[in-house]
Amino acid sequence: MLIAIVLIAMAAGVSGGVAYYQFVLPHVRLTSWEIVLVDGKPALKVAFKTNVYPVTVRLIGPDKKTVVDEARAEIPDDIPVILYLPTIDNNAVPGTYYIRIIYKDKVVLYESVDVKLDLKIENVAFCTDYFPKTISYPGGWYITGVNMTVKNTGNSPVRITNVRIVVNGREGRFRLRQTAILKPGSEAFLSAKVSDQESAVYLGGASTYEVEALLDLGPRTISHRAKIRTPAPSLELQDLGLGVYFDVYAGKWCLNNVTLIIRNTGTWTIYVYAIEVDVIELQASESHRFLSPITIEPGEIKIVYADLYIWVSQPGRYNVTISLDLSPDSWLHKTALEIKAPQLVVKDVSFELTNYWGDWWIEGVYVTVENVGDVTGYVLRIYVTVEGKGEDYDTVYTAVKPGETKTIFAIISIDLGSPGTYNVTVKVDLGFTTITYETTLTVG
C-alpha cells in the first residue's frame, strides 16, 4: 500500500503581524473491499478510513491505465463507495484491478484487488431419451437434460442462465428455468431440460460417449467432462416362422416370407424400420422397409411380418441371419432353414401306342410314382427317349403327397416306324433332380 504524504497548511491565527499555520498529514487506509451486486450489476464495495475530504476513488483496469469507474466521498457517510466492474453477459471480467484514492490531485492510496470468476462443477448427471427417426432428425438417443451442483469458488457473484452440452462435435444449449445467481462461497443445484427432439443433443445408438457440460459465464467458460453409456435395444424372440413353398414354374423353392413375434424387454419404445433376411450359403439376401415404423412399447409383444423372394434351388440346411433395422441400432438373430428333399420313386411305366398306316407311334406314357418321404414332391416334366428314334417330353406339374402313389399321364409323340423291341429311357423331372427309369418296349 502506498500512502502519499501531503502537508496541508491551515491558518491557525495571527499574532504580532505573523501568521501561524497548522499542517495536517492525510491518513488514508483501505479497510475492506468485496464484490457485490448493485442493481444486478457486479461492483466493488470499497471501505476505507480517511481524515481528509473530499477524496476521489478510482478503479483502474488491469492495463493500469484505463479508468473503469470512479466515485467521490465528500463526507464519512459516503463511505463505502461503489465502483462498477466491466462485465460480459452480466458477469464481472476477472483480473487484477487497482484502487486509487486521490486528494487534491495527489494519490494518497494505491492498492490492487484481484477479481476471481470461478466455479466448481460437481455431481453432473445427464438425462437421455430415445426418439424415432424423422425426415429432419435421425433416430436414437438424445441428451434432453442435465443436472449438476455448482459452487462459486471465486470472489465475484456469478450469474448462470444456461448449460451448453457438447458431444461428438454437436452441441446444444439448455436454458435454466430461472437465472441462477451464486454469491461467493455459495452452492446451487442447476437443472435444465428440453422436451422436443429439435432442442435435444443427438448421441446415436448404444455406445459410450464423452460429454462436456459447459457454463458460459461471458468472460470465461467453466467445463466438466463426463462419460455416459446408452443401452442397447432389448428384444426377446417369442417365435419365428420362415415361409417356404416350391414353385413348379421355376422348379425351385422360394423363401417368400418371415414372421417374428418379439417382445420389448427394455424400458423405452423401440421402432422397427426394416427387416433383412440373409441366406449365408447362397449369398442371397432380401430386405423389406416398412411404410411406417413398427412401434413396440416396453413390455409389448408385436408381430413383424415381411414378404420375401429368395430362391433356393436345392434342398438342404442353410444358415439364415435375420436383422431388424432399429436405426441407428440393429437387432440380429441367427437361425437355420431346413428344406427337405422329396423322395419319389418310379414304380411302373407303360406306353400308349397307335398304328397309323403301318407305322407305330408312342402317343403317351403312364408313369406311376410313389412318395416314400415326408414332404410333398412335384413332378414337373416327363421326358421319353427311344434309342435310335427320337425323344419328346410333356409338362405335367403334378403334386405327390407323402405316402401317396400316383399314375401320371404325359402326352408323348415319337414315331417308331416298324415293329420291334426298343430301348426306352424315361426321365421324371422333379426340379432339383431327375429320376431316370430305363425299360424296353416291344411293338408289333
Q: What is the CATH number of the domain that holds 81?
A: 2.60.40
What is the model's pLDDT at position 4?
40
Mean pLDDT of the chain: 93
The C-alpha atoms of residue 123 and residue 150 are separated, in whole angstroms, by 9
Q: Are residues 86 and 163 in the same domain?
A: no
Residue with cell 410314382: 369
Residue 77 is given by DSSP the state G
CB contact at 8 A, 333 and 347:
no
Query: What local confidence, expressed as pLDDT, does residue 195 receive?
Result: 87
Alpha-carbon distance of 200 to 163, in angstroms, equals 12
Summarize pLDDT for 93-110 with one digit per residue, the tens.
999 999 999 999 999 999
The C-alpha torsion from 197 through 198 and 201 to 203, rounded to 10°, is: 50
Handedness of CA 26, 111, 217, 148 (dihedral sign): negative
Residues 6+ apart with CB under 8 A from 349: 365, 366, 367, 368, 424, 426, 437, 439
CATH of residue 253's domain is 2.60.40.10
- Judge whether 393 lies within some domain: yes
Are 320 and 410 within one domain? no
Nearest 5 degrees, angle CA 426-CA 431-CA 434? 30
Instruction: Give the CA radius of gyration of the chain.
Output: 48
Q: Do residues 53 and 68 lie in contact, with contact meaning Cβ atoms separated by under 8 Å?
A: no
- pLDDT at residue 24, rounded to an integer: 66
Task: Kindly state whether residues 73 and 86 are assigned to the same domain.
Answer: yes
Do residues 307 and 239 share a domain?
yes
- On the question of pLDDT at 12 being above 90, the answer is no
Q: What is the mean pLDDT of residues 216-237?
A: 95
Residue 138 and residue 94 share a domain? no
CB 149 within 8 A of CB 122: yes
Single residue among 115, 139, 168 that ends a domain in this structure: 115
Question: pLDDT at position 430, please?
Answer: 96
Q: For the chain, what's the residue count?
A: 444
pLDDT digits (tens, 9 = 90+) for 382-439: 999 999 999 999 999 999 999 999 999 999 999 999 999 999 999 999 999 999 999 9
Q: Is residue 66 part of a domain?
A: yes
**Is 2 contained in some domain?**
no
| Model confidence band, residue 15 (pLDDT cutoffs 50, 70, 90) | very low
**pLDDT digits 0-9 by tens, 339-360:** 999 999 999 999 999 999 889 9
Tell me the per-residue pLDDT of 289-313, one tens digit each, with 9 for 90 and over: 999 999 999 999 999 999 999 999 9
Half-sphere exposure of 176 (CA within 13 A, CB side): 17
Tell me: do 295 and 387 sit in the same domain.
no
Count up the domains in the chain and report the number.
4
Q: Mean pLDDT across the stretch 333-343?
A: 96
Q: What pLDDT does 444 receive?
A: 80
Q: Which of 115, 141, 164 is the last residue of a domain?
A: 115
Name the amino acid, one letter, at 286.
E
The answer on pLDDT for 66 being more than 70 is yes
Are 12 and 100 contained in the same domain?
yes
Is residue 8 pLDDT above 60, yes or no?
Answer: no
Give the mean pLDDT of 174-184: 94
Question: Is position 185 within any domain?
Answer: yes
Signed CA dihedral, 339, 341, 342, 343: sign only: negative
Residue 259's contacts (CB-CB under 8 Å, 6 or more residues apart) are 239, 240, 241, 243, 303, 304, 305
Element spanning 242, H or E: strand 235-247
- Gap between the Cα atoms of 163 and 168, Å rounded: 17
pLDDT in tens, 104-156: 999 999 999 999 999 999 999 999 999 999 999 999 999 999 999 999 999 99
Residue 1 lies in a domain: no
Quickly tell me which residue has 408381430 as its cell: 303
Kindly tell me if the per-residue pLDDT of 242 is higher than 80: yes
Whether residue 285 sits in one domain with residue 308: yes
DSSP conformation letters of 116-147: ---EEEEEEEEEEEEE---SSS--EEEEEEEE
- Asked whether the beta carbons of 205 and 328 are under 8 A apart, the reply is yes
Domain boundary among 201, 230, 259: 230
Residue 3 lies in a domain: no
Main-chain phi, psi angles of 277, to 5 degrees: -120, 130
The mean pLDDT value for 47-75 works out to 96
270 CB-contact burial (10 Å; exposed 0-12 / middle 13-18 / buried 19+): buried
Q: Give CA–CA dist 178/181, Å, rounded.
A: 10
Residue 41 lies in a domain: yes
User: Same structural domain for residues 387 and 406?
Assistant: yes
Distance CA 151, CA 121 (A): 7
Calculate the alpha carbon distances from 204 to 61, 201, 270 in Å: 47, 10, 14
Q: Confirm whether 188 is domain-assigned.
A: yes
pLDDT for 328 beyond 70 = yes
Q: Does residue 239 share a domain with residue 335?
A: yes
How many of the other CB atoms lie within 10 Å of CB of 101? 25
Please indicate, yes or no, whether residues 322 and 268 belong to a single structural domain of this protein: yes
* Cα–Cα distance measured from residue 60 to residue 367, given in angstroms and rounded to the nearest whole number: 114
Distance between CA atoms of residues 338 and 320, nearest Å: 10
pLDDT of residue 23: 54
Q: Do 350 and 423 sit in the same domain of this protein?
A: yes
Q: Provide the residue range defining the domain that includes 56.
A: 8-115
Residue 17 has pLDDT above 90, yes or no: no
